[in-house]
Amino acid sequence: MSVLVVCPGKDPENWVKALKNQHPGMNVYVYPEEHDTEEVEFAITWNHPRGLFKNYPNLKVIASMGAGVDHILSDAALPDNVEVTKIVDDTLTEDMGDFVLSQVMNHIRGLHHYVKNQQKKQWEKFQYKRPQNTKVGIMGLGVLGNAVADKLHKNFFKVYGWSRTEKNCDNVTSFHGKDQLQEFLENSEILVCLLPLTDDTCDILNADLFDMLPEGAYIINVARGEHLVEHDLMKMIDNGHLSGASLDVFREEPLPDEHPFWDHPRINITPHIASLTKPESVVAQIAENYDRMKEDEPLKNKVEMEKGY
């Protein structure tokens, strides 16, 4: 019985080292090095080549290296009956809270103006909003959305949330389902996307949705690039309805040199770093699921395939 690590474009060595530290008896292969495909029952992956897992007749579990699983489920050739797990990790969750808070604060204090003005040696003061007077709407009240909501509340923001099913969260005015989307959006002066990427949520950040936001709303997308219709965002910023955006994720990553987002004065770009998985912090839960698979016990953080997250 062996474990396969597949993460093209990433260095697998930290993963292998952390797995072996955690579970010294584990036999770990790294794709594409030569290995016996029949031996592999458990795979750990990020952005595997499409169709790869069809070649593993005994594969039972695919563990995502991160909180998102769209990179696995979007493979039309995924073997039947395979179980998929995702990462739920305190460090990942806390880091997302810190990042979103930093972007929200950056926006209300207008800090990006001063970075630009420093380059021009320009001394210019701007008025700013206070957290107490700022409404932030979070799309997705899961592990990360909840943590972000909590952090923003502790920093005195007025927090609104939207999810698929009804929630009763402390300190968050929550809405759910398509019927309540408009009311949620009308209260979102800053809109944070923390939805998983599914058929229902792809392209959800589009002109119709932006129209329902208050004039001057600001967008923070830390979920997936495919949530955002890029052209609609540019149009709504350029016509003044939106005041700008902070984008951490993109339809194509790395963002191509010629992409208009790079030079847009009202768009802040970060290279998908809102919250990075640290192998040493998450291998324990992966190793535990490996043992659970061997013992035929229910897996932790299992993805519901029919929901897509």
Binding site for ligand NDP (CB under 6 A): 66-68, 140-145, 162-165, 194-198, 200-201, 222-224, 248-249, 272, 274-275, 309
Q: What three-state secondary structure class fits 232?
A: helix
- Pick between residue 71 and residue 113 the one whose CB is nearest to ligand NDP: 71
DSSP codes, 190-217: EEEE-----TTTTT-BSHHHHHTSPTTE
Q: E strand or H helix at 184, and its extent? A: helix 181-186
Report, in Å, the least distance between residue 64 CB and ligand NDP. Answer: 9
Report, in Å, the least distance between residue 122 CB and ligand NDP. Answer: 32
Which residue in 247, 274, 269 sits closest to 99, CA to CA? Answer: 274
Candidates 48, 164, 224, 227; catalytic one: 224
Candidates 153, 259, 264, 272; catalytic one: 272
Q: E strand or H helix at 45, and its extent? A: strand 40-45
Report, in Å, the least distance between residue 203 CB and ligand NDP. Answer: 12
Q: Which residues of 73-99 are buried (b: 16+ CB within 10 A; e: fewer)?
A: bebeebeeeebbbbbebeebbebbbeb
- Pick between residue 155 and residue 180 the one whose CB is nearest to ligand NDP: 180
Instruction: Describe the strand order of the beta sheet including 40-45 as a list of residue ranges.
Output: 28-30, 2-6, 40-45, 61-64, 83-85
Q: Is 176 a catalytic residue?
A: no
Name residue 247's beta-bridge partners.
Answer: 221, 269
- Pick between residue 53 and residue 99 the one whose CB is nearest to ligand NDP: 99
Q: What three-state secondary structure class fits 138?
A: strand
Residue nearest to ligand NDP (CB): 142
Q: Is 251 a catalytic residue?
A: no
- Pick between residue 158 and residue 224 the one whose CB is nearest to ligand NDP: 224
Residue 87 — left, alpha, or beta (φ > 0 → left; ψ -120 to 50 → alpha)? beta
Report, in Å, the least distance between residue 248 CB and ligand NDP. Answer: 5
Bridge-based pairing of strands 242-247 and 267-269 is: parallel
- Pick between residue 22 and residue 163 the one whose CB is nearest to ligand NDP: 163
Report, in Å, the least distance between residue 270 CB and ligand NDP. Answer: 9
Report, in Å, the least distance between residue 19 CB and ligand NDP. Answer: 20
Residue 136 — left, alpha, or beta (φ > 0 → left; ψ -120 to 50 → alpha)? beta
Q: What three-state secondary structure class fits 306?
A: coil
- Pick between residue 40 and residue 174 the one whose CB is nearest to ligand NDP: 174
Residues marked active site are found at 224, 272
